[in-house]
Amino acid sequence: MAQWRRREDVHNGAVRLAVFESPLPGTSPSGDDPRPTVLLVHGWPDTHHLWTHVAPMLAGDFRVIAYDCRGFGDSDRPDGDDPYRLSEMADDLFAVIDAVSPDNAVHVLAHDWGSVLTWEAVGRRGADKCIASFVSVSGPSLDQLGVWARARLRRPTPRNLARAMAQTGSSAYTVFFQIPVAPGLFFRVTGSQTIWREFLHRAEGMPRPNAVFRPTLREDMISGLRLYRANIRPKLAAPDPRHTSVPVLEIVNERDIALRPAIFDDTHLYAERLWRRTSPTGHWLPLTRPDYLADVTREFIRARAGIESDGRDSVDRSRILGSPGPMAGKLAVVTGAGSGIGRETAYALAEQGCELILADIDLDAADETVRECKRFGVTATAYLLDVADTAGFVAFAAQVRERHGVADIVINNAGIALAGSALAATDEQVDKLLAVDLRGVITGSREFGRQMVERGVGGHIVNVSSAAAFTPSRDLGLYSAAKAGVLMFSESLRGELTEHRIGVTAICPGIVDTNIVRSTRIAGVDAETEAAQRDRLDKLYRKRGFTPDRVAADIVKAINANKAVAPVTAEAKVGYRVYRFAPWISRLGARRKVAR
């Protein structure tokens, strides 16, 4: 934990601001420190102690400064509401910057109201001369928010109204905060360290030891209410959003109890250079996942400061150009990406703005998919991978992490097919089928799942099963067994990973026109008969006309909706329900021959 060193106080007019530094252990107060300066700005009801866990993680690379905003901690608490207008708070920020780094621009990491006031600051002319970059956590520009709300209400579509109402519900507490007297009395009763620590634990899942004790909490809660009274109604009533040329990294927490992700949809209209990281995390990210916040902040600032990176390019993939989608900036891994469902899924994820890692046993085919994905303006990299080679798959997952970072989305798609009699199949055919279709899925899920759990900010794993998993057939017994294993493994893994905010989806296509049909082996028949039966199956699938791009679209929908099982085609949806509610019908159907 940071051992804060008190610096000389900074004055903005009559207001005194307490400034602190988080030095490297064993160092003296900073003099001519050549490292870039990072200024940490807190929100309500916090002080500089909010950054106690983050600061030491940044101090190895940067000179880390924090201060108590006016009305909080050891800084002055002027009377009345007017001194807490955002214009005054932004003046404080510039005063601190001028005092701690008069010759070089600083990088700002801000949370909650600290981020709100920094948006006010970066919108000023010439702000880029003293603010080199801005990492915004759980704090929108109130002017941008006001315009966003008005635009949704002017076009009252069901989607716009739902988003506006959702944010209104999340912000309902701010109405109470602006009532005279009552909120102050409330926090005089409830503003204890014990109650606040328990609230953060229950609302955010924050480990109780992460709560930093400070004697001014109750006073900070009450004094900080003036931020709400001084700013929310005036800003939302007459918003005046301004553009900024300061590079901005916007960290969007999908589980933020106060701010819905949708309110950040229009940030790109005001920030000329915008990056975004989205994760299933909560409002108090500096306390719940300080390591994650420090990592993404360090990477962003190093890139902006021109410091040599560790070889990863996750900052580049987080760049927002145009209206961002829910998957913008995420890293996605797709196996079997050289053709069929894998290739079309890669295209669909590229359209969503993901960086892509595309693996296939045919490297040339994967390279072709990469070239097409780059047309969407995303980064894509091809890798040679045989998913049946467990050791090779493990090495591949480690390589992805080392070169690109931890994957946010993993699509275990690679697969082969085997038809014909289960009794006639050779041991080699059975072993290969299970190694690719089942063990490959298990390996991919385990390796990338471990990485997601260790990182601690969620993710999503998609395992491509089949309608054969719940549609027994005498001609597809072995294939059905492998795909049923994928389905049950996925549902079980979903239960295991739910507590880590990692979704797992089993995708179950039916009859889809892909190359897998043309390469299907048919056990127990000679080569001529196999070719003839395969040709008939291929014509059947072509006649069905269900193309792999439609499966890819359902995969994207399933990820966004965090679905457990997603039957895709009409026959898959019917078969899934028949097997669940009238399995005897499925058993009768299993007697019918398909491959003739």
Q: What is the pLDDT of residues 277-294, one digit of tens each?
A: 998 899 999 999 999 999
Segment among 69-73, 532-536, 575-579 with least mean pLDDT: 532-536
Among 479, 541, 576, 579, the one annotated catalytic: 479
| pLDDT at residue 307 in the model | 77
* Structural domains of the chain ordered from first start: 5-26+33-169+241-318 (3.40.50.1820), 331-589 (3.40.50.720)
pLDDT (mean) for 69-86 = 96
- Rounded to the nearest integer, the mean pLDDT of the chain is 89
Element (H, E) at 535: helix 527-544
pLDDT in tens, 496-546: 999 999 999 999 997 776 666 666 777 767 677 767 666 776 666 666 667
Q: Find all residues with CB under 8 Å of 253, minimum gap 6, and list them.
A: 137, 138, 259, 261, 279, 280, 281, 282, 283, 285
Q: Is the pLDDT of residue 17 over 60?
A: yes
Q: Which two tokens stand for residue 127?
A: 């702000």
pLDDT in tens, 367-390: 999 999 999 888 999 999 999 999
| pLDDT at residue 204 in the model | 83
Partners of 252 in the β-ladder: 278
Q: What's the CA gap between 321 and 275, in Å, rounded?
A: 9
CA distances from 467 to 49, 352, 362, 522, 589 (A): 54, 27, 26, 19, 13
pLDDT (mean) for 59-63 = 93
| pLDDT at residue 317 in the model | 76
Cα 396 to the chain's mean position, in Å?
Answer: 22
Contact call for residues 567 and 508 (beta carbons, < 8 A): yes
Q: What's the CA gap between 252 and 280, in Å, rounded?
A: 9
383 carries an active-site annotation: no
Partners of 66 in the β-ladder: 20, 40
Q: pTM for this structure?
A: 0.86
CA distances from 115 to 85, 89, 144, 450, 491 (A): 14, 11, 13, 33, 40
| pLDDT at residue 222 in the model | 94
Q: Which two tokens stand for residue 65?
A: 């400064």
